[in-house]
Chain A
Amino acid sequence: MKVRHIRLVVTGMLLVAVVLVSGCAKKKPPEPTQAPPVPGETTTPAPAPTPAPPVETPPAPPGVTDAEFSPAFFDVDQSSLNEQGRSALDKNAKILRDHPDAKVEIEGHCDERGTVEYNQALGQRRAEAARDYLVAQGVTADRMTVISYGKDRPFSEGHDEGAWAQNRRAHFRVRS
């Protein structure tokens, strides 16, 4: 009985957290479309763009959640898959085959021991390495997008080998 109660409370808290996080992520101003100015050209300061009204994104397709996907981890300064990475991606390939409508975004991440710009490129390579592996496993490329966060969205905030190992990854998120 008690266990069930705790489970309910935890599930409730998680739901609230998910709603809060997705709520924050929506407050993005619209993308500018006008041609940029060039140096020497006078720019008339225009009023700040008004944020677009929040759009409700439908929840992830039933049956697939981010948590079901396994991250592929990478060795230091490497963007080629190791044994753990291939095995994680084999599992992810199966999930994607079992859910042919599911689409994912693959995030590339790096540890903090590199510069912002280099890590961005390295994260891109990690995400692409995961995508290419899945394409080779028969997942169609248009079901996957890649994005690199470099060292800017670490999973572990620590500054030791354990944290760094956690942060060198290709991470999967279900796209709606």
Chain B
Amino acid sequence: MSARRLPRYLVAALVLPGLIGLVLMAPRSGRAQSDVRIDIKGSGTRMKIWMEPLKPEGDRHSSNFALQADEVLASDLTASAVFRVARQGIDSPPSDAQVVVHGSFKVDGQRLRLVGEIHDLPGRRPVFAKEYSSALSDWRALTHAFADDVVLALTGEAGVASSRIAFIAQNGREKELWLMDADGARATQMTRDRSIAQSPSWAPDGSLILFTSYRSGTGTRIYVMPGAGGRVYQVSARAGLNTSAMYSPDGREIAATLSYEGNSEVYVMDARGGSPRRLTNHRSIDTSPSWSPTGREIAFTSDRSGAPQVYVMNKDGSDVRRLTYDLGYTDSPAWSPKGDRIAFVSRAGAGFEIQTCRPDGSDLRLVVSGGSNENPRWSPDGRHLVFASNRGGAFGLYVTDLDGSSPRKLDTGGRIALSPAWSPRLTPPGRMTARVGQSVQGGTR
């Protein structure tokens, strides 16, 4: 069911706290000041939902999986930053919960069937119902698909629990490419080069991951590999630097930093790494390109004014403008998927804070500080940033919901983790059949 067809009071309940939140979050001036902290309790802007345990249908096997799926579902719905979840059997029922999320879970041999439902409260009229089925081994992915549909049914835009995060895990002097679910589960090692891998970046359709590696033994080169794993292909092995690669939003081009013409500059190549076209022409360091979601502009880092600063230029290299003049050292830009903001790091002491602003440099907001916080990358819905931080000692991965709540740590199994990259939305496995409400996800999203 689309947001348009939601009961009016439900829409008001969803939209009003959001508006209040926006007003509260508006900074007092255009400058970000470390003493002006956004301090809104997450619950103030989140919709309260009541979650009943998934009903196991069938044998003990079903019960065991249903219990685990409950945990995944509750974790996904909380991590969506849209809901405040109260759970039957754990929390007391909130008097003001607007919907109840529930369903049934059936294991049948090696197959799995989940029926997910939403009813409004207190009337318990059906809002959403959908049947999901897959191989039993995909039970987590199936549960994530339901969680994303709950977000879709109640906000009009799907959640991101089905997406994945690529990152770099460090083991001694070696750095390898890894992949995990957005909740940190199912971490998988993708490269075994015993070298240094860096700066992963997803194709817009989630099929491929670009990365930088020293695996050839002759400095940095750009490679690509399927997001599902498999063979590694070389994209750019020009003399000097080959780093910071990122596909254009249409997947037809790659922006990257190359130095084969003598200086570190931003180039755009075709999607196989050919026909490089130089965008920057300055004797300073130019690097770290990040496309705008329209593909018409590119944010990048340059030290042409002295210390590194984030700039924005048109895709042909024209109209270079500095993003902000308020901070002494900024780097690592990441354009939000909706195009409304750019996240970047700014130096603070020996480390970095994370800031965001509009693409014209206005409305600067400090969103993460404490320790060093690096490589911010947006979730596909633009509600979260994942970043690497040493706030807990060794570097690990954290997610901020951009609402003033504390960043949450992703479990990377104790590995030192760096340079995260959030995938676009990925198609869940298995089959889905809508029973109540229409879903843009369908079965072939």
Interface, chain A (partner B; CB < 8 A):
24-25, 27-29, 31-41, 43, 45-49, 77, 113-118, 120-122, 124-125, 145-149, 152-153, 159
Contact = CB atoms under 8 A, between A and B. Distances in A.
Contact of B233 (A32, A40, A48, A146): A32
Nearest to B247: A39
A74 to B, nearest CB: 14
A48 to B, nearest CB: 7
11 contacts: A29-B193, A32-B223, A32-B234, A38-B272, A43-B207, A45-B229, A48-B231, A115-B301, A120-B198, A147-B218, A149-B196
B287 A121 contact: yes
A120 B196 CA distance: 12
Contact of B264 (A33, A35, A125, A159): A125
Interface stretch (B8-16, B236-244, B315-323): B236-244
B350 A124 contact: no
B114 to A, nearest CB: 28
Contact of B207 (A39, A117, A146, A152): A39
A120 B307 contact: no
Given A40-B205, A115-B288, 12 more contacts: A29-B215, A36-B224, A38-B252, A38-B272, A43-B207, A43-B226, A113-B351, A115-B301, A116-B199, A117-B243, A118-B285, A122-B285
B196 A152 contact: yes
A47 B173 CA distance: 27
B35 to A, nearest CB: 24
Nearest to B191: A29
A152 B233 contact: no
Contacts of A39: 203-205, 207-208, 247, 251, 271
Nearest to A38: B271
A31 B301 CA distance: 30
Contacts of A34: 233
A37 B285 contact: no
B285 A116 contact: no
B374 interface: yes
A40 B208 CA distance: 9
Interface in B200-219: 203-205, 207-208, 214-219
A47 B257 CA distance: 30
Contacts of A159: 350
Interface range for B: 35 or more
A120 B216 CA distance: 16
Given A38-B251, A40-B207, A117 B288 contact: yes
Contacts, number: 143
Contacts of B244: 117
B193 A45 contact: no
Contacts of A27: 194
B332 interface: yes
B213 to A, nearest CB: 10
Nearest to A43: B226
Given A28-B193, A32-B232, A159-B350, A116 B220 contact: no
A120 B287 contact: yes
B109 interface: no
Contacts of A77: 303, 307
B410 to A, nearest CB: 19
Contacts of A49: 231-232
Nearest to B352: A115
B331 A114 contact: yes
Most chain B C-beta atoms within 10 Å of own C-beta, residue among A32, A39, A49:
A39
A144 B145 CA distance: 55
Contacts of A28: 193-195, 215-217
Contact of B257 (A25, A43, A117, A125): A117
Contacts of B347: 113
B73 interface: no
Most chain B C-beta atoms within 10 Å of own C-beta, residue among A27, A34, A38:
A38
B231 A124 contact: no
A120 B224 contact: no
A118 B331 contact: yes
A125 B199 contact: no
A124 B259 contact: yes
Contacts of B327: none
B273 interface: yes
Contacts of B243: 117, 120-121
A117 B205 CA distance: 24
Nearest to B262: A128
B400 to A, nearest CB: 18
B233 A36 contact: yes
Nearest to B170: A152
Nearest to B207: A39
B288 A24 contact: no
A31 to B, nearest CB: 5
B7 interface: no
A121 B265 CA distance: 9
Contacts of B273: 36
Contacts of B214: 149
B423 interface: no
A116 B233 contact: no
Contacts of B396: none
Contact of B208 (A25, A33, A37, A125): A37
B285 A125 contact: yes
Most chain B C-beta atoms within 10 Å of own C-beta, residue among A118, A125, A148:
A118
Interface string B255-280: 00101000010000001110000000
Given A35-B272, A38-B251, A118 B234 contact: no
Given A124-B241, A148-B219, A116 B205 contact: no
